[in-house]
Structure 1
């Protein structure tokens, strides 16, 4: 079902009245992102006129309503952008309650939902956010179906969406037995960043770029998502997942789709997701020979990690698309843990024109990087065009130059939404534009099968580096772009 086109304007549409249930409300994600994000939406006037937020967790971790409100206050104070104070906080705090839920014992949650709906009135919409480990998804979804809570409600599902094609299909079958696809929101906070929407604006709202956005003018594309963080005590999750399943499928591949898609018929969910799915259909099966898997030094000494673990903490790979626009253009994707810097950067390298009109000496002086368009997703985001220009003076000497668009220089970003905030708002509005479809995620796992079945061995790399040395060979004749590694 198509969602309405996005409403223009500074504030945008306001959702219908809602009861929001946060499963895993005592966990780290709820504390760092979800509760502070909901409060920021309240301060921005973007929550419904009437709403309630119900925290839920197994009985062993359950809180009373007052305890949950205190936890929310502490979370907002520590991780929020604004302090929990004043009338807006008092209204938000009064909208919080808690209902425990165990398989076969959803009584407390059912009571909490009924009381919340009575308080809101007029049959509010229900939104369920599964901030729980993936292994808990099936039981929660089945209980939502058997108790009737799922009726008419929407579901937010956290990544990873399976670990291969069979598990992704099994997860989809479980969820689709209770929720139809129009009510499922597979969330990736990375896609909620302003810079993702700005890719669409940059390409399709400007005649300057779209005519050269193809194989005739672009030589290669890089998508970099390095992280400084280690696995930080998450061995139980990471050992069974690794960087490719945790990051590459959910972040860089999704950005690749926005970079490579054809112009959508309209800025509606159906049109955008259709064009993204076409990109995934054009994706060539991943070649293990064009992949580098790395493991940071000391990973096997992390608590809970197998001393002989072959789990990768770093992945770099070359992928290609079989379609008219991008045939022959390599896309280089890279992500990993314990790297030199945390970045979210897309770099488009443009083909160089013949430079015979310039003296060789002039060309040699410009031996660095040029003819690139760099999209930096670091909040609030920036776009840099790199090119060659003549240096001042009597000789024809070429030097690198830049033109920069920065959100902070051009717009008031005081009320900009972070990724989770934007996507939770979209889920309440029923807008699936920035959420992955079941067809898209299953196609990605299908294309990944050769790599998952025959992965190359992991290569060690030093912490605070940019990964194994072999990544330089992977990208030749090009070079990796990051601000600190030029």
Structure 2
């Protein structure tokens, strides 16, 4: 079995389409919802795109109570791809893919079927083979699965993909990392955040560091405030058991929005490799000011307490908005406004940077209709496939100097061939096989995010009700004064 000697794969110099080494991929929790919706369809798409290794096998595993035979697992995969995949499970490509699938049950006290299935898969691949484990299991099962992998030797030299949540507070996050590091060293741990696998999030790096137009003005001298906004129109969709123990802050802010903040706010790395990118993002987290509960609004949509499984007096937030400060030379004094929640008016994924007004106002402060022209913005829509919009003021046609809003739009869908795109999970699984940790979160980064969150978790403000289909509680506007939220009007 090959050792993991590529801890810092370089993104900028790797040849396009570089294939991973031969692999045995083990999906822990292969009968669950994540495997059905994302992992099995994603692996088939990678195979269709010619991005899986030359030789590979995929082993599904689950507790013995949920075990499947090989043929049952293949049928399970066919149904998953038929329902959620981008290509039908048929033809030569499907026949080749399905032949790589096998199943081995594993209970903590009886891992023998899984061990046998992995060994058989490695014999079928032949030669030097890497192992990749994807832990698509509930948090309660995490420790026992990791311990089992270590006790059986299956973890030797292997890499592991870890699903969120990465703890629920500082103590649990540290305990989780201790469990992981007892079996896997940090260079082989891939904490997956599907937001970071989006093409348009990678495009933030390209926008900043490949263009002399933007990087010189990407700082406190030119940007007045930044908004990261991920409203969701769906409610909890029957997931009360999960949501009651998590809430929006733990589920979305710590896991997703803080990670996006890291990409937006980082210093230019010396190289676009995993070590440099993760270090610059971690520096941002080290510079985050500890959260002040007075700068946080927690909301709960009306009717949440009537959801099956929700406690009648639940104080779990379905909405969180907060003001975040970064104490470094680039961003000192620039507020970052973060917002996410359930049952809101729209589902969006937006980063908006607002530029400062010119130092000398040469044009009227108000337009003829009495409105105040808003400053220029750079809006990054990182919903798939993504777009970038620059909004600015321009002269309206006519004899008078009247200003009107104008915009320039880069639309990802209309600019590049979409057949080459990968969905977030597909992208990240491929990066894990290549050993590139650039788009995965580090133990130190996670630790620091829970550390700055401690005051809020210990003394959260009470939840405020908001109507379904709104933009959250009215009190969110006090967080951003003298600025405003750029959704719902997007301007």
Instruction: Give the shorter-chain TM-score range.
Output: over 0.9
Q: 2:195 aligns with which of 190, 196, 202?
A: 190
List per-residue Cα deviations over 1:207-247 (Å, max 9, x = no partner).
11111100011000000111122111211111111111111
**Structure 2 CA distance for aligned equivalents of residues 296 and 362 of structure 1:** 37
Residues 22 and 129, structure 2, Cα contact 8 Å, conserved in 1:
yes
Residues 257, 7 of structure 1: alpha-carbon distance in 2 compared, 3 angstrom cutoff = closer
**Which of the residues 218, 232, 235 maps onto 1:227?**
232
Q: Give the alignment partner of residue 449 of structure 1, picking from 439, 454, 471.
A: 454
Q: Which residue of 1 aligns with 2:93?
A: 88
| 2:101 is the counterpart of 1:101 | no
Q: Give 2:212's match in structure 1, choosing from 207, 213, 221.
A: 207
Partner of 2:148: 143
Per the alignment, do residues 360 and 375 of structure 1 end up closer, same or farther by CA in structure 2, a change over 3 Å counting? Answer: closer
Write out per-residue CA displacement over residues 416-454 of structure 1, whole angstroms, 9 at most, x where no aligned residue: 001100000000000000000000000000000000000
Computed over aligned residues only, the root mean square deviation of the Cα atoms, in angstroms, reads: 1.5
**2:478 pairs with 1:473:** yes
The residue number in structure 2 matching 1:329 is: 334
Structure 1 runs, 4 residues or longer, greater than 4 Å off: 7-11, 360-366, 483-486
Question: Which stretch shows the higher mean deviation, 361-370 or 82-91?
Answer: 361-370
Conserved in 2, the CA contact under 8 Å of 1:365 and 1:397? no
Q: Deviations over 1:247-281 (max 9, x none)?
A: 10011100000011001010111000000010000
Match of 2:11 in 1: 6
**TM superposition shift of 1:366:** 5.9
| Aligned partner of 1:258 among 255, 263, 271 | 263
Relative to 1, partners in 2 of residues 1:221 and 1:303: Cα closer, same or farther, differing over 3 Å? Answer: same
2 CA distance for matches of 1:192 and 1:246?
17
Q: Distance in 1 between matches of 2:371 and 2:268?
A: 35
* Structure 2 equivalent of residue 270 of structure 1: 275
Q: 2:314 aligns with which of 290, 309, 315?
A: 309
Give the equivalent residue in structure 2 for 1:462: 467
Q: How does 1:406-445 map to 2 (within 5 A)?
A: 406-445=411-450
Distance 1:127-1:230 versus aligned 2 partners, 3 A rule: same
TM-fit CA distance, 1:354 = 4.4
Contact 1:33 1:420 in 2 (8 A): yes
Deviation at 1:356, TM superposition (A): 3.5
Structure 1 residue 13, shift from structure 2 partner: 1.1
Query: In the TM superposition, what is the alpha-carbon distance from 1:331 to its structure 2 partner?
Result: 0.3
Aligned to 2:391: 386
1:27 matched to 2:40? no
TM-score (normalised: structure 1)? 0.98
Q: Does 1:291 align with 2:292?
A: no
Q: 1:475 deviation in Å?
A: 1.1
Q: Is the 8 A contact 1:14 1:46 kept in 2?
A: yes
Helix, strand or coil at the partner of 1:358: coil
User: How many angstroms apart in 2 are the aligned matches of 1:408 and 1:339?
Assistant: 26
Matched with 2:177 is: 172
Deviation at 1:84, TM superposition (A): 1.0
Cα distance in structure 2, aligned partners of 1:5 and 1:125 = 19
Partner of 1:54: 59
Q: CA deviation at 1:7?
A: 5.3
Residues 163-196 of structure 1, C-alpha deviations (whole Å, 9 max, x = no match): 0010000000000000000000000000000111
Structure 2 contact 366–372 (Cα < 8 Å) conserved? no
Q: Please state if 1:43 is matched with 2:48.
A: yes
